[in-house]
């Protein structure tokens, strides 16, 4: 009996770390400098539960923090999984408008901005005009 108590105390930290949620594990890996391990953990979490908005958002935000070109596609998946007009969907729409503008995809930015406005959310979106679909290209010099 006395032998079991020290073994149980030694096994507790191992069992707790094994039961750690994948998102927490990925954050721990990223903070320790293991970026590829964190990405793999987040990707596994997102793929194992494709309807889990939190896992999809965590993966998209990770890619966004690291300026990965796959971030728009990851945000698209998270947006597709987010239903209704909850805060997560609105946050995703706002970020996607910015990423669409950065990518030069004005049509997608306009669609997302319209979806944001249609959600009934007041704020910045109401004051932002739609983007011109065909803005004239500026020359590299002044005339």
Let me know if 137 is exposed, middle or buried by CB neighbors in 10 A (0-12, 13-18, 19+).
exposed
pLDDT tens, residue by residue, 52-81: 888 999 999 999 999 999 999 999 999 999
The pLDDT-based confidence of 14 (bands split at 50, 70, 90) is very low
Q: Which residue has the higher pLDDT, 100 or 49?
A: 100
Closest by CA to 88, choosing from 79, 97, 101, 96, is 79
Q: Tell me if residue 57 falls in helix, strand or coil.
A: helix
pLDDT tens, residue by residue, 81-135: 987 658 888 899 999 999 999 999 999 999 998 888 887 666 655 556 666 655 5
CA-based angle 128:133:139, to the nearest 5?
105
Q: What is the pLDDT of residue 105?
A: 93
Number of other CB atoms surrounding residue 107 within 10 Å: 10
pTM of the model: 0.71
| Angstrom distance (rounded) from CA 75 to CA 20 | 25
């Amino acid at each position: 009996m006395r032998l079991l108590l020290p073994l149980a105390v030694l096994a507790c930290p191992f069992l707790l770390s094994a039961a750690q949620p994948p998102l927490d594990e990925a954050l721990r890996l990223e903070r320790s400098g293991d970026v590829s391990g964190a990405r793999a953990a987040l990707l596994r979490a997102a793929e194992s539960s494709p309807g889990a908005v939190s896992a999809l958002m965590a993966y998209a935000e990770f890619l966004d923090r690291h300026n990965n070109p796959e971030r728009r596609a990851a945000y698209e998946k998270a947006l597709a999984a987010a239903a209704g007009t909850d805060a997560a969907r609105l946050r995703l729409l706002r970020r996607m408008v910015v990423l669409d503008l950065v990518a030069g995809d004005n049509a997608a930015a306009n669609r997302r901005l319209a979806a944001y406005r249609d959600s009934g959310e007041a704020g910045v979106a109401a004051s932002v005009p739609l983007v011109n679909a065909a803005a004239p290209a500026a020359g590299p010099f002044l005339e």
